[in-house]
Structure 1
């Protein structure tokens, strides 16, 4: 029964963040300056970035790594299991939080509690992508929920409080159902460990639970779980919380949540279904395809009819999640496309939210009719917004164009290399989504840059640098997409699909078996 310490850095990261998150409010009580609070938050995020980078290097060198808490292997203890996919998600999360959090001082009354919640949000996301235990995954999702609720409400305006309440109600309901499915999973298989579940379904390990047919029981359980993740990912019909939540939250919060939250929810879908079940069931694939296509239309339509610049961007998030869901429905090849979308989302959404957020912050409004000429004196910020918008529409050479091009190609033949009316219909819906997004962004670009009006005040230097860096990243990653695909996206997808047995064996080996 050997204890595993290889993934100690990954296991330590979320708990280190939560520990400092609880310490930071004491700074306010002790009358310690806010500069120290900000520096402490940045320092711990830098440390966690280092731990995430170290974890990634460990995975690249050794393959799947594990950490058992208190040396108790599953099913008795919680195990953190990190493969290339988990390490990729971890470095993405820690990098974005490190870069974006310092900008918060320009958008919010940055009291100690705000930074505590920011660290909590990062801790929750990292815990979700690193853990190999369904119950621990639930706990980390709740940490994310509580932190996000506070952050969305932090402006303390009626709109932000209402948006936070709506988000909390959906998140709480989804969390309760996820917890119940975790209980059902344990009852059926006798373990909460994801890898052991996969071993039982594959026949490698005897079931420890009560289900006579583990595969059938788990497929029913995961269909319920899927709906909780549909809510977390803001797919139609449980999307209604997102436009208000992301548009009313501080721009740094909206940028981080739009960049990462949906990607983390998609990650959980992939992790559970592919490791435990060996892939999405037919029912799950059909559900994702139908809801994905509807989300593309609803997201694009919302972009056209929204009168708020921040809501236009928020609805574009729903549209892009729809594309991710369609990709997942295509089977194993769709995993690589979805991962490309997750990476693209992480670069594109901060570009849009931060640039538009500065306009909203500077002029005191985000109403499209009241921000005419807002970008005129901020060419760097406008360039970032323009490139981000081009990416969402799918204009080359942006990274989202590359991801969409792959998706269109796979949908056109649905993996059979034979054209069909079904594939043509799906492709038509997705092309319509791109057209709607173009119309939606033109409604913003035309008045904010081409019409005369009051310009937003000059953006802070760091904000301009960061927006330009993200914008350059959108273009550069698009140009070098095949290189990124070969060295990042493909290995991440392969660790989930081809590396399923290695993931399972990493846990079975904890028992010496």
Structure 2
């Protein structure tokens, strides 16, 4: 492939979904259901283009596009290396897969799909940008689109949760922007590669007050975006009250890409030398992550609502990733990336499964899942596999990520992180086992069973029921499609298959990791 064509792919990946976001609105003036079709075609094409880009990066190395041909010192760059391409594959693949749920499960409406494409464009911009100010621009695009999608639910709770996300997210983005401003004052540049060279040359080098203050603002801003304790409160409300078709996309991608962006700034801009030479920088990062792991897991154990339980689980899982960043070892960084990818896949599958169960069978709380496996074996089986992967039981991608992070903790001799990994695994087992016990070992109460079908309703996933109770008013078994069930199964299969890919992940990320640490 020619250099010009390969360099154009990152630009197309960012610009195409943002431009395509206008199509559902335009064609929606004549066709009511145009949005889903255009969004499916766009996201599927984006995934194919990302696969092509990944092959180019693998064979030829990092792809850099300078917009307008301006030098990086004062221009804008898009950078596709092995790390950013990995996250782009997750973004495009997940955004295309979630549409299998929204086709029948909703939300519907062409304005919704415009927001959907805008969010995908913002996430891809965050992934590929090589400029810290444009990272802020894409953070804002992502935040506004996420707010609109969360608030697209029918009830007032969705609007309140969306507004809460908007306010807290704006605070996080503003703190990040303050950090960017301080970096510019200290160095006179905004390009990530230029910053990495300019920071140690600034007056005082890594001891420069502006540089250290910039790191503090950037880290706190991203801690809000990634939902680290105690600035996590927006996430459970957003996940619980967002429409069931929105939660998988937000849970799998929004905080995941923000966590990736934090790694990019920490390791590409501030570099390993800053983290190791700045007093208490590593310790603060590790502490924030470790406390979030314990707090998130503990809060997840006591939840009754399934979506809220999974939301607190995300607080814990992202805490593990942040703690891994603070270890500053090659093994821990690879483990953090694997855990990010695995978490995105697992949470997309789990929230789609929760949406299928809520849509088709009217169950939203842990107690309402009683007896689900006997009547809905496919969706219950997929959810069970994903929960087991979330715990970190081998062979699963959840195990691989935790294993590499634990090895990194041992290498760095930070035994507290190794202990936190063990504790979080036990707590994850506690809330996952509670749900599994309800699905597989607790018989349903036929007087209150929300997912028992009427006698004339046939389950779409191979289950059957005696038809002893009336169907819940919330349940719509006819709305559960084969596509919805298929995407749950695909997520479960990927969660297991990637568990055998630890060495492949390490080899794939090795050029990036070696560059960072050398």
The TM tier, using the shorter chain, reads: 0.7 to 0.9
In 2: Cα distance, 1:434 partner to 1:229 partner: 25
**1:61 Cα deviation (Å)?**
2.5
Contact 1:243 1:311 in 2 (8 A): yes
Cα distance change of structure 1 residues 397 and 469 upon mapping to structure 2, 3 Å threshold: same
Cα distance change of structure 1 residues 492 and 104 upon mapping to structure 2, 3 Å threshold: farther
Partner of 2:12: 12
Cα distance change of structure 1 residues 409 and 60 upon mapping to structure 2, 3 Å threshold: closer
In 2: Cα distance, 1:440 partner to 1:176 partner: 35
Partner of 2:485: 464
1:435 maps to which of 421, 426, 429: 426
| Per-residue deviation, residues 228-286 of structure 1 (Å, max 9, x unmatched) | 00111111111111111112223332222222223212221221121222223553321
Q: Does 1:314 align with 2:311?
A: yes
1:83-482 alignment to 2 at 5 Å? 83-201=81-199, 203=201, 213=205, 216=208, 217-279=210-272, 280=275, 281-333=278-330, 334-411=332-409, 413-415=410-412, 423=415, 425-449=416-440, 450-452=442-444, 453-455=449-451, 458=460, 459-478=480-499, 480-482=500-502
Greater RCO (CA < 8 Å, at least 6 residues apart): 1
What TM-score results when the alignment is normalised by the length of structure 2? 0.87
| Per-residue deviation, residues 354-391 of structure 1 (Å, max 9, x unmatched) | 11121122244512233433343221111111111111
- Helix, strand or coil at the partner of 1:244: helix
Contact 2:24 2:111 in 1 (8 A): yes
**1:193 Cα deviation (Å)?**
0.7
- Helix, strand or coil at the partner of 1:81: strand
In 2: Cα distance, 1:442 partner to 1:461 partner: 27
Cα distance change of structure 1 residues 282 and 332 upon mapping to structure 2, 3 Å threshold: farther
Q: Which 4+ runs in 1 deviate beyond 4 A?
A: 3-6, 211-215
Partner of 1:483: 503
Cα distance change of structure 1 residues 181 and 410 upon mapping to structure 2, 3 Å threshold: closer
Cα distance change of structure 1 residues 495 and 10 upon mapping to structure 2, 3 Å threshold: farther
Contact 2:17 2:120 in 1 (8 A): yes
**Which runs of 5 or more structure 2 residues have no equivalent in the other structure?**
453-458, 461-479
2:44 maps to which of 46, 49, 61: 46
Contact 2:101 2:484 in 1 (8 A): yes
Contact 1:101 1:118 in 2 (8 A): no
Contact 2:35 2:114 in 1 (8 A): no
In 2: Cα distance, 1:329 partner to 1:212 partner: 23
In 2: Cα distance, 1:130 partner to 1:446 partner: 43
- Helix, strand or coil at the partner of 1:376: helix
Partner of 2:472: none
In 1: Cα distance, 2:30 partner to 2:108 partner: 15
In 2: Cα distance, 1:313 partner to 1:154 partner: 21
CA RMSD of aligned residues (A): 2.2
Partner of 1:493: 513
